[in-house]
Amino acid sequence: MATSSAKPTPLLKDELDIVIPTIRNLDFLEMWRPFFEQYHLIIVQDGDPSRTIRVPDGFDYELFNRNDINKILGPKASCISFKDSACRCFGYLVSKKKYIFTIDDDCFVAKDPSGKDINALEQHIKNLLTPSTPHFFNTLYDPYREGADFVRGYPFSLREGVPTAVSHGLWLNIPDYDAPTQLVKPRERNTRYVDAVMTVPKGTLFPMCGMNLAFDRELIGPAMYFGLMGDGQPIGRYDDMWAGWCVKVICDHLGLGVKTGLPYIWHSKASNPFVNLKKEYNGIFWQERAIPFFQSLAIPKDCTTVQKCYRALADQVKTKLGEVDPYFIKLADAMVTWIEAWDEVNYPGGKPAKQSNGTSKSK
Amino acid sequence: MATSSAKPTPLLKDELDIVIPTIRNLDFLEMWRPFFEQYHLIIVQDGDPSRTIRVPDGFDYELFNRNDINKILGPKASCISFKDSACRCFGYLVSKKKYIFTIDDDCFVAKDPSGKDINALEQHIKNLLTPSTPHFFNTLYDPYREGADFVRGYPFSLREGVPTAVSHGLWLNIPDYDAPTQLVKPRERNTRYVDAVMTVPKGTLFPMCGMNLAFDRELIGPAMYFGLMGDGQPIGRYDDMWAGWCVKVICDHLGLGVKTGLPYIWHSKASNPFVNLKKEYNGIFWQERAIPFFQSLAIPKDCTTVQKCYRALADQVKTKLGEVDPYFIKLADAMVTWIEAWDEVNYPGGKPAKQSNGTSKSK
């Protein structure tokens, strides 16, 4: 670890919520019990709200179904996707904590090469509590990690780093492939444990997967909108990608860092590639236009908050990507609705946020 | 590995030279024998030319001392550093091969986590023969590697990648730290084997270490100039860094890739931090000005060859960094001399290069 940085607190209590989108019973939590039990869970139930989701005993959670979302956001609930895991961002909006960890319900505890269970959450917290280095590449990876540092030739003026807004974790077993790659390589499994965390450099976009993701809600929360996907929309499975592109350009603009690498989770099963192809189809075309748009995007200098950046981004999405497909005009409007909803729930009349209205259950 | 790419040839004969700068007997080659013996070595003897360098039997090599360099380059020999490992770039200039691997004489064969000897050269060749992906970050690292691919959300139009010009390898045991870090952390050893190769994204500079480095001489050779260091110069230990900054901006301009990560070598001993501090002292200040210079550099569009790019770069070094210190004016002139020498040796009268005049020894 670089000598300039303090040792990070291994774990935070009362500062982090775990957000889980789901349509089924959460038996997968049993395996996570030693790591998650001390935290508050925000469960966003997708699909039929009349269905009962079973949560193992002993967890402290709130569960929000579609009726709750509609009740809390009113007409602004239109910005929250239905029948798509993009609905998870509702959990980010109603959380009152500084940090969010979000995980899919088909992700289990992975083992490191020594056979030890990986505490994914602890690694995410380490990543978030140490700075990022987006302005120059460090060849020995995260310089703030124990046993590592900045290498010869790394400018000293850049060694303080910048605050870390996002920690993007990876997946052993089933890799996060698109439908075409799933179809072509049905048997491919990720067995390579790469013992590294690194900063995605400034000016570089990356594919952000929502399966195993943590972020600093105070620094970047309002940009973590997962878009309009699923029911009634011409696209799916681009929710986290969209959020990742938006988040990255705003982090670059505001001088915040994005890390990727450790921790790994064990991704248990591949989703259906045929279903996925249908969801991804439009996105495969549209991203070829969206990526150059994000790569050349200029956020005005006077945008000094995430909200201002996000509104400026929504404007440009409407103008420039609206030409690609009318979907982007609808999406741009939803981005504005999302920001309004975020501010309404989090700063009602400028006061601290009120208590949420989901189904609560404390241990 | 991505399905679009062919499996790389594991090893190339007659297409690669190994360049070793040294002032001592090359006993370290014994350990590398199984991996190096089939290749031609270019040994650049630094310091006193009357000293005899012992090379273990069985290696095919040429050795160039200062007298040879002066004889071959004439007055243009002034661009080749003396009493500094920067002299190694003379070896790149006189090579007739497509690929160069350069290694320091205190670097030994490392072992992978399974205890197997690492064939560093083979990994470098794999890196160079598969494309790079500088335009978008792939979270599962090198997508062309076996068991890996592009992840969901990676634009399909970018999956062909770009030709790889540079493969930058890393070091176990003694990390490549600057003098201040060496002084502060004298006991730090790199024990972390990170099983990854990745592309340094476009627009991002990195600290290129010359200890364990391979490159495609045809693609980027003329930019691999290690500057004016050592004897008679106000700076040392920035030779590879300088080359790295120049190479990276030219690769970015020409659409070429730079990879870093595997392979590891075992770096046996730390150099003296007090001596290093004296060498690095000016560089520590100057790089704070040089980095912003390289980050904001614009190479004119009509520079379509490495030589043209390098001359344009030398112009700007003279104009803009010349203000920082007169050393950069001298360096800019040496950069032009280097390009002239490169073209003179490699394309005398536009014809194929003539045989070199070093001391030759074939097995």
Q: Is the pLDDT of residue B352 over 50?
A: no
Inform me whether the pLDDT recorded for B6 exceeds 50: no
pLDDT of residue B11: 66
Q: Mind telling me how many Å the CA of A155 is from chain B's nearest CA? A: 6
| 8 Å CB contact of A209 and B153 | yes
Q: What is the mean pLDDT of residues B12-28?
A: 94
Q: Check residue A290 and give its pLDDT.
A: 98
**How far, rounded to the nearest angstrom, does the alpha carbon of residue B274 sit from its chain's CA centroid?**
25
What is d(CA A346, CA A72) in angstroms, rounded to the nearest whole number?
A: 12
Tell whether the model's pLDDT for residue B305 goes beyond 90: yes
CB A110 within 8 A of CB A118: yes
Domain ranges of chain A: 16-356
Cβ–Cβ below 8 Å for A203 and B203: yes
Q: Is B70 exposed, middle or buried (0-12, 13-18, 19+ CB in 10 A)?
A: middle
Instruction: Return the higher-pLDDT residue of B5 and A117.
Output: A117
Q: Could you tell me which CATH class the domain A16-356 is placed in?
A: alpha beta
Nearest to A188 among B149, B190, B205 (CB): B149
Of B153, B204, B241, the CB nearest to A207: B153
- Site from B127, B137, B174, B295 to mutate, A interface, most A CB atoms within 10 angstroms: B137
**At A137, is the secondary structure helix, strand, or coil?**
coil
Give kind and range of the element (H or E) at residue A265.
Answer: strand A257-267
Q: Give dist(CA B87, CA B52) in Å, integer.
A: 17
> What DSSP string describes A141-182?
S-TTSTT--PPTT--GGGTT-B-EEEEEEEEEES----HHHH
Q: Is the pLDDT of residue A352 over 80?
A: no
Q: Is residue A156 scored above 90 in pLDDT?
A: yes
**Residue A268 near residue A173, CB atoms below 8 Å:** yes
Above 60 in pLDDT, residue A133?
Answer: yes
Please report residues of B whose CB lies closer than 8 A to that of A190. Answer: 140, 147-148
C-beta atoms of A140 and B287 within 8 A: no
Average pLDDT of span B172-195? 96
Residue B269: predicted pLDDT: 87
Three-state SS at A32: helix
Residues of A with CB below 8 A from B244's CB? 153
Mean pLDDT of A202-206: 98
Mean of the per-residue pLDDT values of chain B: 94
Residue closest to A314 by CA, chosen among A289, A347, A340: A340
Strand B359-361 and strand B164-173: the pairing is unpaired
Nearest by CB: B141 against A194, A244, A291? A194
Q: What are residue A160's phi and psi, to 5 degrees?
A: -75, -25
Question: CA angle A52-A55-A56, nearest 5°?
Answer: 145
How many other CB atoms are found less than 10 A from the CB of residue B187?
Answer: 4
A149, B192: Cβ pair inside 8 Å? no
Backbone φ, ψ for residue A71 (5° rounding): -70, -40
Chain-chain contact of B140 with A238 (C-beta, under 8 angstroms): no
Q: What is the pTM of this model?
A: 0.94
SS (HEC) of chain B: CCCCCCCCCCCCCCCEEEEEEECCCCCCHHHHHHHHCCCEEEEEECCCCCCCCCCCCCCEEEEECHHHHHHHHHHHHHHCCECCHHHHHHHHHHCCCCEEEEECCCEECCECCCCCECCHHHHHHHHHHCCECCCCCCCCCCCCCCCCCCCCCCCHHHCCCECEEEEEEEEEECCCCCHHHHHHCCCCCECCCCCCEEECCCCCCCCCCCCEEEEEHHHHHHHCCCCCCECCCCCCCCHHHHHHHHHHHHHHHHCCEEEEEEEEEEECCCCCHHHHHHHHHHHHHHHHHHHHHHHCCCCCCCCCCHHHHHHHHHHHHHHHHCCCCCHHHHHHHHHHHHHHHHHHHHCHHHCCCCCCCCEEECC
* Position A6 pLDDT exceeds 70: no
Element (H, E) at A47: none
The average pLDDT across A139-163 equals 97
Query: Could you tell me which residues come within 8 angstroms of residue B129 by beta carbon, excluding any fewer than 6 positions away?
Result: B8, B9, B164
ipTM: 0.93
Chain A residues with CB inside 8 Å of B190's CB?
140, 147-148
Residues of A in contact with B293 (CB under 8 A): none
Write out chain B residues lying below 8 Å of A173, CB-based. none
B131 pLDDT more than 60: yes
Tokens for B67? 């007298």
Q: In the prediction, which pLDDT does A13 show? A: 73
Residue B142 with chain A: CB contacts under 8 Å? none
In this complex, the residue of A136, A177, A189 whose CB is nearest that of residue B152 is: A177
pLDDT greater than 90 at residue A358: no
Checking if the pLDDT of A294 tops 60, the result is yes
Q: How far apart are CA A346 and CA A351, in angstroms?
A: 8
DSSP 8-state code for residue A54 = P
| CA–CA dist B294, B241 (Å, integer) | 12
Substitution target in B4, B152, B285 with the highest count of A β-carbons within 10 Å is: B152
Determine how β-strand B40-45 pairs with β-strand A107-108.
Answer: unpaired
Contact check, Cβ <8 Å, A136/B260:
no
pLDDT at site A3? 42
pLDDT at B2: 45
Asked whether residue B213 carries a pLDDT value surpassing 60, the answer given is yes
Question: What distance in Å separates residue A138's CA from the closest CA in chain B?
Answer: 7
Write down the mean pLDDT value for chain A: 94
User: CA geometry: angle at B72 spanning B66 and B77, to 5°?
Assistant: 60
Tell me the per-residue pLDDT of B231-242, one tens digit each, with 9 for 90 and over: 999 999 999 999
**Residue bearing the bigger pLDDT, B88 or A7:** B88
Euclidean distance between CA atoms B188 and B175, whole angstroms: 8
pLDDT band of residue B120 (cuts 50, 70, 90) is very high
The share of chain B scoring above pLDDT 90, in percent, equals: 91
CA of A196: which chain B residue's CA is closest? Answer: B194
What confidence score (pLDDT) does residue B357 get? Answer: 53
Q: Give me the mean pLDDT over the A227-236 stretch.
A: 96
State yes or no: pLDDT of B18 exceeds 80.
yes
Question: Are B153 and A3 inside 8 Å of each other by CB?
Answer: no
Residue A349 pLDDT level (bands cut at 50, 70, 90)? confident
Three-state DSSP state, A361? strand
Q: How confident is residue A10, by pLDDT bands cut at 50, 70 and 90? A: low
Q: Tell me: the pLDDT tens digits for A83-98?
A: 999 999 999 999 999 9
Supply the pLDDT for residue A348: 87
Question: Cα–Cα distance between A202 and B203 in angstroms, integer?
Answer: 8
Query: CA A123, CA A129: separation in Å to the nearest integer?
Result: 10
Identify which of A148, A175, A192 has the shortest CB distance to residue B151.
Answer: A175
Report the pLDDT value the prediction gives residue A361, as an integer from 0 to 100.
Answer: 61
Return the sign of the alpha-carbon dihedral for residues A329, A330, A331, A336.
positive
Rounded CA Rg of chain B: 20
